[in-house]
A and B are shown apart, each in its own frame.
Chain A
């Protein structure tokens, strides 16, 4: 009965009402993951669960039993930022920074979805999957992460740079 969070095992809370978000922030002290709306409307609490992006506010911690969680704290290795973290800085993909951990966790998992060819609502050819790395694709795929400072242009540019890097 444990959850592997950024490679370390943590025991489950006794109370099943505890969300994964509250487990991270209040009980383990990993405050990088942010509490926004607490109802699945903003994406600030996005973490990566067994490789897929999910909302930690709507996940009961007990549901993550036996699974692996990666938070923003787990993306950097030995103090080196993840390439996407660096790209967010270079492209001004943030202002106040509150939505940023969720944006980056979301984008990291989104790159995985695009690499394996998953389509989105705006993908013209469903069978072929996503064929180009257009900004429209990025915007649609990142629509679950809101930024009320309005840094979306920089966010899209930062992700686009990673995709271009993929293709090179």
Chain B
């Protein structure tokens, strides 16, 4: 690990002023960043520890939530309002990592976690356009079973490993930021970037900018929601495919539907096309599968991960089926 300066901020103002000094990274729980620094993939000159900034979950008068960036993943998952009104978020968090890591990991850090592509991690022996822009990508012709099938480019096929972000994408979460140019907010769906020709640029965060909170709003679809994660072992593994979905059915027709996929792209993949197909239709398995077909039509798999297309379709239909209850 390359030597670095360490400063702990007591509040947001101090965090921003410490970050203004130069090449630094904000440190949350450290579950990803410390590992990346140990692997010499990240080597910031300084860490500004924001893990002790106020960690509150505020409930708005409408029943929405403003979740501080320093709140631990385990605290969000266990929060009574999240469990009752945003079950897909609670379940997505509980599907991620292990209990120990959820106790450490912060909400802000979860948004910033980097891909687990093994070629990205193999600094000594592999080419990676994320690590070394322009170097090439050894994943594309390599062991790509876990890699992306949607929104890829010829420069990168890495996935975003976050479970939490998949649920937040389905919930239309808003990311609150603050930085040298002042505070702003960005829809979570616009926060992560697809690789294109610049896979090393992963988010829209500007230099020195800090994630301060995540905001979500209540809806009938959010209250009737689920998260299912398909993986090689039943716990403590990254997703092959995951689905966060919420469904609101009235008079036998779908009034509102939210679907996001994980494990398939460099960002949480909001299934906008599938939602368009389903809105106003009857909640039947045929319609769910038809919508999934439309969403996955643009998939560009490698030989090793083509199975993810069928897996994503079936998982999507299964989760939506679960949400309709026994009557569907």
Interface string of B84-100 (1 = CB under 8 A from A): 10010011001101111
A-B contact pairs, 16 of them (CB 8 A): A17-B3, A46-B100, A52-B103, A53-B99, A54-B104, A55-B100, A55-B101, A58-B29, A58-B30, A58-B31, A58-B35, A59-B30, A126-B91, A127-B83, A140-B234, A143-B98
Contact-residue size bin, chain B (C-beta under 8 Å from the other chain): 35 or more
CA gap between A98 and B110 in the complex, in Å: 30
Chain B residues, CB < 8 A from A160: none
10 closest A-B pairs by CB: A144-B98, A143-B235, A16-B6, A121-B94, A143-B236, A126-B83, A52-B103, A118-B78, A17-B1, A55-B100
A117 to B10, CA, bound (A): 31
A119 and B4 within 8 A (CB) = no
Q: Separation in Å of the A78 CB from the closest CB of chain B?
A: 28
Beta-carbon contact of A54 and B103 below 8 Å: yes
Chain B residues near A15 (CB-CB < 8 A): 3
Give the chain B neighbours of A127 by CB distance below 8 A: 80, 83-84
Using a CB–CB distance below 8 Å, which chain A residues touch chain B?
15-17, 19, 38-40, 43, 46, 49, 52-55, 58-60, 62-63, 65, 106, 109-110, 113, 118-121, 126-127, 129, 139-141, 143-145
Q: How many A-B residue pairs have CB under 8 A?
A: 98
Q: Does B212 contact A (CB under 8 A)?
A: no
Task: Please pick, from A43, A129, A139, the residue contacting B98 in the complex, using a CB distance under 8 A.
Answer: A43
Interfacial chain B residues near A17, Cβ < 8 Å: 1, 3-4
Residue of B nearest to A17 (CB): B1
Residues of B within 8 A of A129 (CB): 83
Q: Is there contact, CB below 8 Å, between B103 and A119?
A: no
Give the residue of A43, A62, A118, A145 whose beta carbon is less than 8 angstroms from that of B74: A118
CB distance from B157 to the nearest CB of A (A): 23
Q: A46: shortest Cβ distance to chain B, in Å? A: 6
Q: Least Cβ distance of A36 to chain B in Å? A: 12
| Pairwise interchain contact B103-A58, C-beta atoms closer than 8 A | no
Determine if B77 is an interface residue (Cβ-Cβ < 8 Å): yes
Do residues A144 and B100 form an inter-chain contact, with CB atoms below 8 A?
A: yes
| In the bound complex, CA of A39 to CA of B36 (Å) | 9
Given A118-B78, A121-B95, A143-B98, A39 contacting B35 (CB threshold 8 A):
yes
Closest chain-B Cβ to A92's Cβ sits at a distance in Å of: 23
In chain B, what residue has the closest Cβ to A15? B3
Partner of B31, one of A40, A106, A113, A120: A40
B104 contacts A58, C-beta separation under 8 Å: yes
Task: With both chains docked as a complex, state the minimum distance between the C-beta of B75 and any C-beta of chain A, in angstroms.
Answer: 10
Q: With an 8 A cutoff between CB atoms, is B53 at the interface?
A: no
B86: min CB distance to chain A, Å: 10
Is the Cβ of B100 less than 8 Å from the Cβ of A54? yes
- Asked if B8 and A65 sit within 8 Å, CB to CB, the answer is yes
B184 interface residue per 8 A CB criterion: no
Q: A54-B104, A139-B235 are in contact. Are A60 and B34 (CB under 8 A)?
A: yes
Q: Which of A60, A110, A126 contacts B30 (CB 8 A)?
A: A60
B206 interfacial by beta-carbon distance below 8 Å: no
